[in-house]
C-alpha cells in the first residue's frame, strides 16, 4: 500500500506542475504534506519532516549554489568564459567538444560532491553553448553524466564510502573496479546518448551568457582557466593534503576547514573579484551589482531544490524505503542483481541516491556474507542502482531542469533517461566483472 501511495504522490506532483500549471515549489509543499498524512506520519511530525528536509537540503547547497552563480556571472561578464570556450574549441573542435567536457567532468567529479561539481561546471558548458551556438543539452549532458557516475560509484563520495564500510569491502579495489565500470557507462550515457538530443530546445539561464567582448579586452587564457577552475584545484589540493596529513590534530582541523566546499567557493570568489572584477577596470559597486543580479536568477531554483528535499524527508521518515527493501529481499535473484534492484526501486520512490544506497546496504549486508558474493562488486551494484531514473522527487532533476530551462517532459527524456542508462550500464559492467573476479 505504501508503494502505491508513493506512486500516487509522484503522479500528483507531475499533474500539479504540468496540467495544473502550479508553481513547482508550492506543488512540492502540498504533495509533501499529502504524502506525510497518507503514509501515516504523526500529524505533529509532518511539517517537522518538511522543514527538516528543506533545511538539510539547502543547508548543504545554498552557499555553494549562490557563490557558484556569482562566480559564473563574473566569468561570463568578464570575457573569461569566451576565452575558455575559444581555447576548448580550438583544441578539440566543435565535433569533439563533448569529449573534452566529459573528461573534465570525470576528473573533477572524483574529488567533488555532485552538487558542487554541477554548479562549478555549468558556466563552462554554457560558455561553449552560447559562443558556438551548439545545443545546450547535447553539449552539457556528457559532463553531467560523468559527474553523476563518480558520485554514485566512486570513493571518496559519501555513499560509496559508507557502502564500503557497511559491506566490509576494500576501498582501493572498489575504486579500481569502479573505474572499469564507470568509464563505459559514462561514454554510453554521455557522448553516445546525447547524439539523439541535438533537437531538444533549451535556452539556459541568462546569468551565464557571456557578453561579446573584443579579444583585446578579454582576460588572458591562463587567468581565465585558473579562475574558472580555481575551486576545483583548491578542493583537490585540500583533499590530497587531508589524505597525507599525519601531524597535529590542529593541522588536520585546519585542512578540513579549508577543504569545506563553502570555504573554497568563498576564497575563489574573492580571488575572482580582484582579478576578473576590479582587476579589469570595474568598480567594486559594479561587481557587487553583478553578484546581486546573479542571485535573483537562481532564487526559484533554491526554493525548488528545498521542496524536493522536503518530499525526500517525508518519504524517508515514513519508513517506506525499508518496507520496500524487506519485500524485495525475498525475491529469488542473483545477489548483485538483487542489490541493484533494491537500490533502484528505493531511489525511484524516495529520490535520494544516498538514502537508496545506505538503506539497501543495511538490508543486503547479511546476504553478502551468506552468498560469498564479492563485496566490492556489491558496492558498485548498489551504487549503480542508486542512480536509477532520477525524476521529480530528486533535487538533481530540478537543478538540471531549471539551469537548462527545460520542460518537465524534456527533462524526463534527457536527464532521467541518462541516469537510467548509467544505472543499467553500471549493472551490466558489474555482472561482466563478476565472471572473472
State the pLDDT at residue 104.
86
Check residue 111 and give its pLDDT: 64
Mean confidence (pLDDT) of the chain: 87
Tens digits of per-residue pLDDT, 184-225?
999 999 999 999 999 999 988 777 776 667 777 788 889 988
Residue 338, domain member (yes or no): yes
| Interval 169-186: pLDDT, tens | 998 899 899 999 999 999
- Split into its structural domains, the chain has a count of 1
Q: pLDDT class for 409, splitting at 50, 70, 90? A: very high
Residue 269's domain spans which residues?
2-202+216-434
Q: Find the range with the poorest average confidence among 64-73, 117-126, 241-250.
A: 241-250
Any domain includes 178: yes
pTM here is 0.78
User: Would 209 be classed as within a structural domain?
Assistant: no
Quick check: 297 pLDDT over 90?
no
pLDDT for 164 equals 87
Residue that wins the pLDDT comparison between 243 and 356: 356
pLDDT score of 239: 75
With respect to residue 208, please indicate whether it lies within any of the assigned structural domains.
no
Nearest to 157 by CA among 113, 125, 121: 113
Q: 146 in a domain, yes or no? A: yes
396 within some domain? yes
- Residue 211: what pLDDT? 65
Among 135-149, 292-306, 336-350, the range with the most confident prediction by mean pLDDT is 135-149
Amino acid at each position: 500500500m505504501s508503494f502505491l501511495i508513493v506512486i500516487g504522490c509522484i503522479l500528483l506532483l507531475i499533474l500539479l506542475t504540468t496540467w495544473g500549471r502550479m508553481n513547482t515549489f508550492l506543488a512540492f509543499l502540498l504533495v509533501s504534506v499529502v504524502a506525510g498524512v497518507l503514509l501515516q506520519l504523526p500529524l505533529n511530525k509532518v511539517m517537522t519532516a518538511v522543514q527538516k528536509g528543506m533545511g538539510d537540503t539547502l543547508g548543504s547547497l545554498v552557499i555553494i549554489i549562490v557563490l557558484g552563480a556569482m562566480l559564473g556571472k563574473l566569468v561570463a561578464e568578464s570575457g573569461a568564459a569566451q576565452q575558455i570556450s575559444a581555447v576548448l574549441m580550438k583544441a578539440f573542435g566543435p565535433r569533439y567538444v563533448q569529449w573534452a567536457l566529459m573528461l573534465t567532468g570525470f576528473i573533477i567529479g572524483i574529488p567533488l560532491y555532485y552538487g558542487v561539481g554541477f554548479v562549478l561546471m555549468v558556466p563552462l558548458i554554457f560558455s561553449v553553448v552560447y559562443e558556438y551556438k551548439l545545443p545546450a543539452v547535447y553539449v552539457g549532458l556528457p559532463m553531467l553524466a560523468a559527474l553523476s557516475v563518480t558520485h554514485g560509484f566512486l570513493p571518496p563520495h559519501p555513499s560509496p564510502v559508507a557502502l564500503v564500510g557497511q559491506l566490509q569491502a576494500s576501498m582501493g579495489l572498489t575504486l579500481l573496479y569502479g573505474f572499469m565500470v564507470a568509464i563505459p557507462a559514462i561514454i554510453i550515457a554521455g557522448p553516445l546518448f546525447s547524439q539523439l538530443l541535438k533537437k531538444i530546445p533549451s535556452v539556459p539561464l541568462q546569468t551565464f551568457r557571456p557578453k561579446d567582448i573584443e579579444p583585446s579586452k578579454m582576460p588572458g587564457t591562463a587567468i581565465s582557466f585558473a579562475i574558472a577552475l580555481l575551486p576545483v584545484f583548491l578542493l583537490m589540493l585540500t583533499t590530497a593534503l587531508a589524505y597525507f596529513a599525519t601531524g597535529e590534530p590542529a593541522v588536520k582541523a585546519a585542512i578540513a576547514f579549508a577543504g569545506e566546499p563553502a570555504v573554497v567557493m568563498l576564497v575563489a570568489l574573492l580571488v575572482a573579484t580582484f582579478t576578473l572584477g576590479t582587476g579589469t577596470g570595474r568598480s567594486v559597486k559594479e561587481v557587487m551589482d553583478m553578484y546581486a543580479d546573479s542571485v535573483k536568477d537562481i532564487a526559484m531554483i533554491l526554493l525548488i531544490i528545498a521542496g524536493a528535499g522536503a518530499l525526500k524527508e517525508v518519504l524517508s521518515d515514513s519508513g517506506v524505503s525499508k518496507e520496500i527493501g524487506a519485500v524485495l529481499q525475498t525475491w529469488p535473484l542473483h545477489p548483485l542483481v538483487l542489490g541493484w534492484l533494491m537500490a533502484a526501486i528505493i531511489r525511484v520512490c524516495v529520490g535520494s541516491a544516498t538514502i537508496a544506497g545506505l538503506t539497501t546496504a543495511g538490508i543486503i549486508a547479511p546476504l553478502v556474507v551468506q552468498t560469498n558474493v564479492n563485496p566490492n562488486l556489491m558496492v558498485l551494484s548498489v551504487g549503480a542502482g542508486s542512480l536509477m531514473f532520477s525524476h521529480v522527487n530528486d533535487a538533481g532533476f530540478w537543478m538540471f531542469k531549471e539551469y537548462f530551462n527545460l520542460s518537465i517532459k524534456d527533462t524526463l527524456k534527457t536527464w532521467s533517461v541518462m541516469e537510467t542508462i548509467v544505472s543499467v550500464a553500471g549493472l551490466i559492467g558489474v555482472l561482466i566483472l563478476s565472471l572473472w573476479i
